[in-house]
Amino acid sequence: MKKLLHIDASARRSDNLTAEYNSISKSIAATFTDKWRTTNSEDIIIYRDVGVNPPDFISQDWIAAVFTPDDARTDAQKALLSLSDTLIEEVEQADIILISSSMYNYGMPAALKAWFDQVIRINKTFSFDLARGDFPLEPIMSGKTLVLITSSGEFGFEIGGIREKMNHLGPHIQTLSHYLGAETFHEINAEYQEFNDNRHTSSVKSGHKAAEDLAYKLASS
Ligand SMILES: Cc1cc2nc3c(=O)[nH]c(=O)nc-3n(C[C@H](O)[C@H](O)[C@H](O)COP(=O)(O)O)c2cc1C
């Protein structure tokens, strides 16, 4: 039985009375999970909408708690790390991590960055050893697949595209996916939202189709 961890990150909801206000990235991610469920209904989905319920930002006390050995932590420090512990457990359980994200200011929403900051944690998701030379960090988990679904207002963020160098969303999350134990990375992008023209309609349609095909492939493999 495979487990899917689904994280949505847009600040927009997907149940607005006016459909055009709905999040595009959440809607394409929902197509993915719908197909996932119908392909293998026994697979378990853990869901978090960090756009609507953002995790706390980390703080100086949080960092001090992380660097305090497990058996020396005060009750207050344990409490401060409890959200991080829970979010990491959810990642540990997952075979597939599905993240949907808007592009905000050419990168990920702050709420999603807050989630990554809570999850990528020394001695929990990565180890640190200077004996490894210039690359002392290594992920502790392995074998996972990360699927990233994004929506942007502009276009051309792909490799070779006219805004490739402005893309701090997909490449950033792909770099971080390594520390979640992801060894395979898939990305689906809907673009042109701000142009609201045929290119946008076609990009969203292709995004839904790609999400359905990928969900079927991953759920049946
Ligand atoms: C605060 C904010 C910042 C944005 N910044 C960018 C940007 O840097 N580049 C871009 O292409 N689109 C940008 N957009 C447009 C969104 O990426 C676009 O509306 C996308 O569809 C949002 O995702 P969603 O539909 O899942 O909510 C921005 C939108 C907002 C609200």
If DSSP codes are grouped into helix, strand and coil, which group holds residue 58?
coil
Confidence at residue 41, expressed as pLDDT on a 0 to 100 scale: 72
Q: Give residue 216 CA to ligand 1 midpoint distance, Å.
A: 28
- Hey, which of 50, 104, 112 would you mutate to test ligand 1's pocket, going by the most ligand atoms within 8 Å of its Cβ? 104
Q: Which residues of the chain have pLDDT under 70?
A: none
- Hey, which of 152, 155, 163, 169 would you mutate to test ligand 1's pocket, going by the most ligand atoms within 8 Å of its Cβ? 152
If DSSP codes are grouped into helix, strand and coil, which group holds residue 24?
helix
Q: Is 104 in the pocket of ligand 1 (CB under 6 A)?
A: yes
Confidence at residue 184, expressed as pLDDT on a 0 to 100 scale: 98
Q: Give residue 18 CA to ligand 1 midpoint distance, Å.
A: 18
Query: How far apart are the C-alpha atoms of 203 and 155, rounded to whole Å?
Result: 10
Whether 149 contacts 211, CB under 8 Å:
yes
Query: How far apart are the C-alpha atoms of 32 and 149, rounded to whole Å?
Result: 10
Confidence at residue 75, expressed as pLDDT on a 0 to 100 scale: 98
- Hey, which of 28, 193, 201, 203 would you mutate to test ligand 1's pocket, going by the most ligand atoms within 8 Å of its Cβ? 193
Query: How far apart are the C-alpha atoms of 105 and 48, rounded to whole Å?
Result: 23
Domain boundaries along the sequence of the chain: 3-220
Q: Give residue 151 CA to ligand 1 midpoint distance, Å.
A: 7
Q: Give residue 153 CA to ligand 1 midpoint distance, Å.
A: 5
Confidence at residue 43, expressed as pLDDT on a 0 to 100 scale: 83
Confidence at residue 1, expressed as pLDDT on a 0 to 100 scale: 83
Q: Across the strands, what pairs with 151?
A: 102, 190
| Atom 8 of ligand 1: nearest residue by CA position | 105
| Atom 22 of ligand 1: nearest residue by CA position | 102
What are the pLDDT digits (tens) for 34-84? 999 999 777 899 999 999 999 999 999 999 999 999 999 999 999 999 999
Confidence at residue 42, expressed as pLDDT on a 0 to 100 scale: 77
Q: Across the strands, what pairs with 1?
A: none
Query: How far apart are the C-alpha atoms of 16 and 39, rounded to whole Å?
Result: 28
| Atom 3 of ligand 1: nearest residue by CA position | 104
Task: For 148, list phi and psi in degrees, rounded to 5.
Answer: -110, 125
Q: Give residue 48 CA to ligand 1 midpoint distance, Å.
A: 20
Phi-psi region of 191 (alpha: psi -120 to 50; beta: other; left: phi over 0): beta
DSSP string, the chain: --EEEEEE--SS-S--SSGGGS-HHHHHHHHHHHHHHHH-TTSEEEEEETTTSPPPPP-HHHHHHHTS-GGG--HHHHHHHHHHHHHHHHHHH-SEEEEEEE-BTTB--HHHHHHHHHHS-BTTTEEE-GGGTT--EEES--SEEEEEEEE-SS---STTSTTGGG--SHHHHHHHHGGGTEEEEEEEEE--TTT-SHHHHHHHHHHHHHHHHHHHHHHH-
Confidence at residue 204, expressed as pLDDT on a 0 to 100 scale: 98
Fold classification of 3-220 is: Rossmann fold (3.40.50)
Q: Give residue 23 CA to ligand 1 midpoint distance, Å.
A: 10
